[in-house]
Amino acid sequence: MKSYDIAVIPGDGIGKEVVPASLDVLHTVAEVHGGLRFHFTSFPWSCDYYLEHGTMMPENGLDILQNYEAIFLGAVGDPARVPDHISLWGLLIKIRRGFEQSINVRPAKYFQGLESPLKNPKHFDLIVVRENSEGEYSEIGGRIYNGEDQIAIQNAVFSRKGTERVMRYAFELAKKRRGHVTSATKSNGIVHTMPFWDDVFKDICKEYPDIGHASYHIDALSAFFVTKPEIFDVVVASNLFGDILTDLGGAIMGSIGIAPAANINTSGKYPSMFEPVHGSAPDIYGKGIANPIGQIWTAKMMLDHFGEFEIANLLLEAIEDVTSRGIKTPDIGGQSTTREVTEEICRCLKGMAGYNRTR
Ligand code: NAI
Ligand code: MG
């Protein structure tokens, strides 16, 4: 029996609805698998917590989280009561930085039963692996002079270590998928860092002779996300390019409510964090209609991270089965509630695994 200790932070708004839903699904996963057990410890760190304690999480919050194998997070933010920069920097960013979660992984896939804005989405199924700790998003630079002489400089930082790390992650991921990595570059316009990025990519390609590879300039690559997304398997990108591509990836799927994400610590020194792309959606909180799929698919990514690929894939199949039968929340054109979708996914999982409900 394998057992996983998971820290759970539902957070704010619909995080408090879709996280419990996903835990129900994970309990079902454990049940149908038979050889798995999850131990969840829930932490109330959120904007409510902030209003009571003046801090988003306790001083030793990271020390506490350090002991878990993964962090499963809903969403943080209650903009009517707490400014977003406080909630974001006080919890999310602290965890991402403190735990060196230098890689952000976001899949995008055509789902049966979902309406992609693409006219002909074919059956795209890709994952963007984004460098999440350096690159264009550095704090190096500044402004000098005033008036018409004003100058602003922003430096990009690409370390060999950071670049190799994200590329190796992409290739390892491709090994477990369809065996292809595309690099997002712009070495025709950005003449120092991007040729460096290309050089490192060539080096890493040599380490993986069995994995196919391609390199496209980010402008063309973005266009291909719209015109032929089915050509991509794993896409590796710098911080800025990855940021933009992942939003585009989410957009071609059809709804922010289904998009999952993972923040990965590759050294294994700290836990990785799994959280959906969407926020706390205060506009629908309390109505019971939040789409749980983003959070449930995020749970699937956590299972992948644990190496539980078989049951993870079964879970994804169950999600798709449910959407294809029209059991959907209103954001994706259905009339079902969070609960109904969740229960149906659990039922479907049990059915797929040939689980005998009468025992
Ligand atoms: P949001 O993602 O919460 O909502 C954007 C729109 O999408 C809303 O109309 C919402 O109803 C809808 N939506 C989002 N998730 C949904 C779901 N699962 N099912 C159905 N509809 C869904 O983004 P917004 O409104 O910009 O931010 C609200 C709060 O969330 C803010 O405080 C913001 O800072 C925070 N936020 C937190 C994130 C995180 O914890 N990682 C990410 C993005 C925003
Ligand atoms: Mg973004």
Pocket probe mutation, ligand 1, options 16, 253, 258, 278, max atoms within 8 Å of Cβ: 278
pLDDT tens for 205-224 read 999 999 999 999 999 999 99
User: Does residue 272 carry a pLDDT above 90?
Assistant: yes
For residues 263 and 244, state if they share a domain. no
For residues 313 and 239, state if they share a domain. no
- Provide the mean pLDDT of the chain: 95
- Give the model's confidence band at 355: pLDDT under 50 very low, under 70 low, under 90 confident, else very high: low
User: Does residue 357 carry a pLDDT above 90?
Assistant: no
Mean pLDDT value across residues 292-308 = 97
- Ligand 2 centroid – CA 247 distance (Å): 6
Query: Is residue 111, in this structure, part of any structural domain at all?
Result: no
Residue 295 Cα distances to 21, 133, 245, 300, 319, angstroms: 8, 24, 20, 9, 11
For residues 40 and 144, state if they share a domain. no
What contacts 159, CB < 8 A, 6 or more positions away?
134
Q: What is the three-state SS of the chain?
A: CEEEEEEEEEECCCHHHHHHHHHHHHHHHHHHHCCEEEEEEECCCCHHHHHHHCCCCCCCHHHHHCCCCEEEEEECCCCCCCCHHHHHHHHHHHHHHHCCCCEEEEEEECCCCCCCCCCCCCCCEEEEEEECCCECCCCCEEEECCHHHCEEEECCECCHHHHHHHHHHHHHHHHCCCCEEEEEECCCCCCCHHHHHHHHHHHHHHHCCCCEEEEEEHHHHHHHHHHCHHHCCEEEECHHHHHHHHHHHHHHHCCHHHCCCEEECCCCCCCEEECCCCCCCCCCCCCCCCCCHHHHHHHHHHHHHCCCHHHHHHHHHHHHHHHHCCCCCHHHCCCCCHHHHHHHHHHHHHHHCCCCCCC
Lookup: tokens for 337 = 């509630």
* C-beta 294 within 6 A of ligand 1: yes
Q: Output the pLDDT for position 358.
A: 44
Give the span between the Cα atoms of 316 and 297, in whole angstroms.
7
Query: Is residue 218, in this structure, part of any structural domain at all?
Result: yes
Q: What is the pTM of this model?
A: 0.93
- Ligand 2 centroid – CA 304 distance (Å): 23
Mean pLDDT value across residues 303-323 = 96
Q: Which of 231, 253, 275 is the last residue of a domain?
A: 253
One-letter identity of residue 167: M
Measured from the CA of 278, which atom of ligand 1 is nearest? 2
pLDDT tens for 251-264 read 999 888 999 999 99
Residue having the nearest C-alpha atom to atom 26 of ligand 1: 279
- Ligand 1 centroid – CA 257 distance (Å): 8
Query: Is residue 286, in this structure, part of any structural domain at all?
Result: yes
Give the span between the Cα atoms of 81 and 65, in whole angstroms.
26
Pocket probe mutation, ligand 1, options 86, 88, 95, 256, max atoms within 8 Å of Cβ: 256
pLDDT tens for 155-188 read 999 999 999 999 999 999 999 999 999 999 999 9
For residues 122 and 74, state if they share a domain. no
For residues 142 and 239, state if they share a domain. yes
Q: Which of 223, 253, 283 is the last residue of a domain?
A: 253
- The CATH number that applies at residue 1 is 3.40.718.10
pLDDT tens for 104-150 read 999 999 988 888 999 888 899 999 999 999 999 988 999 999 999 99
Query: Is residue 93, in this structure, part of any structural domain at all?
Result: yes
Query: Is residue 108, in this structure, part of any structural domain at all?
Result: no
* C-beta 77 within 6 A of ligand 1: yes
Mean pLDDT value across residues 43-71 = 97
* Residue 178 domain boundaries: 116-253
For residues 271 and 231, state if they share a domain. no
* C-beta 293 within 6 A of ligand 1: no
User: Does residue 43 carry a pLDDT above 90?
Assistant: yes
For residues 4 and 61, state if they share a domain. yes
Q: Output the pLDDT for position 159.
A: 97
Q: Output the pLDDT for position 49.
A: 98
For residues 144 and 178, state if they share a domain. yes
* C-beta 275 within 6 A of ligand 1: yes
For residues 172 and 273, state if they share a domain. no
* C-beta 106 within 6 A of ligand 1: no
Q: Output the pLDDT for position 255.
A: 86
For residues 91 and 120, state if they share a domain. no
Query: Is residue 153, in this structure, part of any structural domain at all?
Result: yes
What contacts 201, CB < 8 A, 6 or more positions away?
167, 183, 185, 213, 215, 236
Dihedral (Cα; 39, 44, 46, 47), 10-degree rounding: 160
Query: Is residue 107, in this structure, part of any structural domain at all?
Result: no
Q: Output the pLDDT for position 115.
A: 87
Q: Count of domains in the chain? A: 2
Query: Is residue 110, in this structure, part of any structural domain at all?
Result: no
Mean pLDDT value across residues 31-53 = 97
For residues 188 and 61, state if they share a domain. no
Q: Which of 226, 253, 280 is the last residue of a domain?
A: 253
* C-beta 19 within 6 A of ligand 1: no
For residues 241 and 269, state if they share a domain. no
Q: Output the pLDDT for position 359.
A: 41
